[in-house]
Structure 1
């Protein structure tokens, strides 16, 4: 896998450790299997305040997005840059869910080799695609229905894109989103990002960052016909019984598009 794809193994390691806790916020039995399948590529490194903060955020966002997807009310779900996400296999999906996973071909090939004997809990469709290029035709060729409300998830993605690529991606999502659709992604903390850029323990991630949107996410969403809601990390984490120790401006943005049909 390329360097961007290897970061997915770092998140898988975090999810595997969290799944071992008796009070874990989720149970992802496939995370450890992904790591075991590529042990020489799993990031380890020292435990620094920044790396621990990264891991904490990854844990909270995993559970937050689990809840977001299950409560979306949409029968069509799209995971953009799905990476080593195993939600198709571990969440209790309502009947009739169609879930599409988009990512680079090499990432999906590795993932499929690990999940070969696993049984998804919904109708899962894999879509090999580069999200920096035209991916919408590949998605529709796999059966995606743009006239149906969709729950979109761009977990840990936008910061790896330039502002132009991020804008293009979200514009394409908007064009495919029927009334009643929803979307979710992160709201970054600029001070944390600046520190991470100069931290050896975070360079495996931060050297790949390209900045993402060049204006606040809620502003972009409002300008493009979405109704956004911001979710600060602190209150979300506290609601899950994991209060944060240091104030941060990071968190999540969810948005809906029009009214359900």
Structure 2
């Protein structure tokens, strides 16, 4: 049965808005990345966005630069890895739009309806690496299903949890990362968003003022303790702020908080 965008689960619907922001960035002459598939996802999701292929105006202003910087940062994070796992892959098109070395394997984990909708929109597009879908609820025993799909726990892996942990309770986020840790060979890396100021973070506060249904889904994830959690579990964390990255990428920073991203290395 075809997957209609309006039938996607609530968190899955947020991926449509993010795709619209990636499409906006891809149209800029000074774009930080190029995603030729983002426009198709956002147009296909018009039913989700109330008849528009643009995200909500308020959230667009809050998150446009954050999504642009995040996409570029995570593109750079996964480049060069030979085994990649996208946790809650959503409408991510890195398997198709990035250049990959021969033999690279990329696993996409997400809910079945999300992956089905994604495949229907891509409509036969060919990935540039070996792309393996793993339909799964990340609150369940996803690690076993990943291994069944061919994941090799003996190979250093790049784990990407983009836009995911904020939708999980603290205990759920911790369980997810404990499973990542269990499956990670030495040399593996993991990356996700990090807001060290927690609920006091300025960008999150502005988003809540205009975010409506999206921000109501937030559960906080690990909150401000991500680097400490990674250290306690055998990872070596390094943090990056959006404002510093925006400057590095040639943009005037619009997010003046200390929010950004963390990379943990085994």
* Pair 1:230 & 2:260 matched: no
Could you list the per-position Cα deviations for residues 99-121 of structure 1 after superposition, in whole angstroms to 9, with x for gaps in the alignment? 00000000000001111220100
Alignment partners' CA distance in 2, 1:129 and 1:23: 37
Residues 214/244 of structure 1: CA separation in 2 closer, same or farther (3 Å cut): closer
* Pair 1:203 & 2:203 matched: no
Please list every run of 5 or more consecutive structure 1 residues that lacks an aligned counterpart in the other structure: none
Total equivalences in the alignment: 252
TM-score (norm 1): 0.92
Whether contact under 8 Å (2:21, 2:55) holds in the other structure is: no
Match of 2:106 in 1: 99
TM-score (norm 2): 0.90
* Pair 1:64 & 2:73 matched: yes
Residues 187/76 of structure 1: CA separation in 2 closer, same or farther (3 Å cut): same
Match of 2:181 in 1: 174
1:37 positional shift: 1.8
Whether contact under 8 Å (1:51, 1:202) holds in the other structure is: no
Please list every run of 5 or more consecutive structure 2 residues that lacks an aligned counterpart in the other structure: 1-7
* Pair 1:218 & 2:227 matched: yes
- Alignment partner of 1:27 out of 14, 26, 34: 34
Alignment partners' CA distance in 2, 1:129 and 1:15: 25
Match of 1:130 in 2: 137
Whether contact under 8 Å (1:187, 1:251) holds in the other structure is: yes
Alignment partners' CA distance in 2, 1:31 and 1:11: 9
* Pair 1:193 & 2:200 matched: no
